[in-house]
Amino acid sequence: MDAKRDNEPAFTKNRTTVERKSERELVITRTINGPARIVFEAFTKPELLKQWWVPKSCGVSLLSCEADVRVGGRYRLVYDASPKPMEFFGRYLEVTPYSRLVWTNEEGEDDGAVTTVTFEEKAGKTLLVMHDLYPSKEALDDAFVGMEGGMPEALEQLDEFVVTLGASRPHGRT
Amino acid sequence: MVQYAPAHLDASFAALADVTRRGVLEQLGRSDASITDLAEKFRMTLTGMKKHVGVLEQAGLVTTEKVGRVRTCKLGKCRLQEETAWLERYRQLWDLRFDALEKVVEELKRKEKIDGRKKRQ
């Protein structure tokens, strides 16, 4: 009956995928072991959001995390990054409980991407699809080049913490 | 996992399939050069070299800039490589983030169960 169970034993870590869907779109997917209601809550309550958005292992911490999750409400995340704190902010365009969230990313100089997250529940698990729509092909291309060329330190740090995390988790997720 | 428009890859592979073009890339890796320089080095006509450079340019492997009457060629930033590396790092970041999210969700589920039991008692 449940063919999925054969392919995905309970101890297997859920896979995260990233794909450039088109010139202007980036899509991230991941299944989370829990109902959409709870996953949605973790996205929309600031006190929960700050527990996972910046994982402890990354060496960067959140200085503040505000999120007024309703249509037109604003969010603002401040990271304790070097040489100076980094801010990410924007506004919620759509808030549909347990199924859909849309927000803007306004920290950049130009128009930022619009992020749409959908929560799709199936057999007690939730498929998360995060879709970033950039205003132009150039904006997404610049994101790649910018990250690679402009923030080598941040990337090195990311590499380091990924390695550290891998080493400290020999048995995968518990 | 990471996918590209096949056209993107086709252009790169087609460009690299030719021994002269690979030679041109190697040469440009050492220093920038004009089309005339390259034509001389590879003992080709100007038109022939222009064609090769055009293919490399189309694939994003080479960029050219015309100053006065001279067209200078240099190695293009390898978009494909950059993009692949970026996407993989981005994936790793989100993977960590989602692992942390799962922990939060796990904790919430546990709390709900306990609360549920309390209510029933």
- pLDDT, tens digit (0-9, with 9 covering 90-100), for B78-109: 656 667 777 888 888 899 999 999 999 999 99
Q: Is A116 within the bounds of a domain? A: yes
| CB-facing half-sphere around the CA of A14: CA atoms within 13 A | 22
Spatial separation of the C-alpha atoms in residues A27 and A5, rounded to whole Å: 26
Q: Which CATH architecture does the domain made up of B6-75 adopt?
A: Orthogonal Bundle (1.10)
* pLDDT > 90? residue B14: no
Query: Measured between CB atoms, does A30 come within 8 Å of chain B?
Result: yes
Q: Is residue A7 part of a domain?
A: no
Domain annotation covers residue A107: yes
Has residue A56 been placed in a domain?
Answer: yes
B105/A33 CB distance under 8 A:
yes
The answer to whether residues A62 and B100 touch, using CB atoms and an 8 Å cutoff, is no
For residue A101, what are the domain limits? 13-168
Provide the ipTM. 0.75
* pLDDT number for residue A161: 43
Contacts of B115 in chain A (CB under 8 A): none
Q: Which residues does chain B have within 8 Å of residue A138's beta carbon, measured at their own beta carbons?
A: none
Residue A151's φ and ψ, nearest 5 degrees, are -130, 55
Asked if the structure places residue A96 within a domain, the reply is: yes
**Which helix (H) or strand (E) is B78 found in, with range?**
none
The answer as to whether A128 is a domain residue is yes
Distance of CA B66 to the CA centre of its chain: 25
Domain of residue A104, CATH code: 3.30.530.20
Which pair of tokens denotes residue A149? Answer: 């060329």
A143 touches chain B (CB under 8 A): yes
pLDDT for residue B35: 95
Of A14, A52, A144, the CB nearest to B100: A52
A52 — contact with chain B (CB < 8 Å)? Answer: yes
Q: Say which DSSP state A106 is in.
A: -
What are the average pLDDT values for consecutive 10-residue runs of chain A, which has 174 residues? 48 84 91 95 94 78 92 93 84 97 89 94 95 89 56 43 43 39
Is residue A8 situated within a structural domain?
no
The model's pTM: 0.64
B42 min Cα distance to partner chain A (Å)? 33
Task: Give the count of Cβ contacts less than 8 A between chain A and B.
Answer: 104
* Alpha-carbon span B119 to B113, nearest angstrom: 10
Tally: H helices and E strands in chain A: 5, 8
Quick check: A117 and A92 in contact, CB under 8 A?
no
Q: Which residue does chain B place closest to A162, by CA atoms?
A: B92
Q: How far apart are CA B22 and CA A101, in angstroms?
A: 48
CA B64 to chain CA mean position, Å: 18
Q: Nearest by CB to B83, which of A130, A144, A155?
A: A144
Q: What is the pLDDT of residue B1?
A: 39
Query: What is the residue extent of each domain of chain B?
Result: 6-75, 78-121
Long-range contacts of range A8-13, CB-CB < 8 Å, 24 or more positions apart? A11/A172, A12/A172, A13/A172, A13/A173, A13/B99
Helix (H) / strand (E) element for A63: namely strand A62-67
Q: What is the total count of domains within chain A?
A: 1
pLDDT of residue A16: 92
For tokens 């808030």, the residue is A95
Q: Which residues of A touch B109 (CB under 8 A)?
A: 34, 38
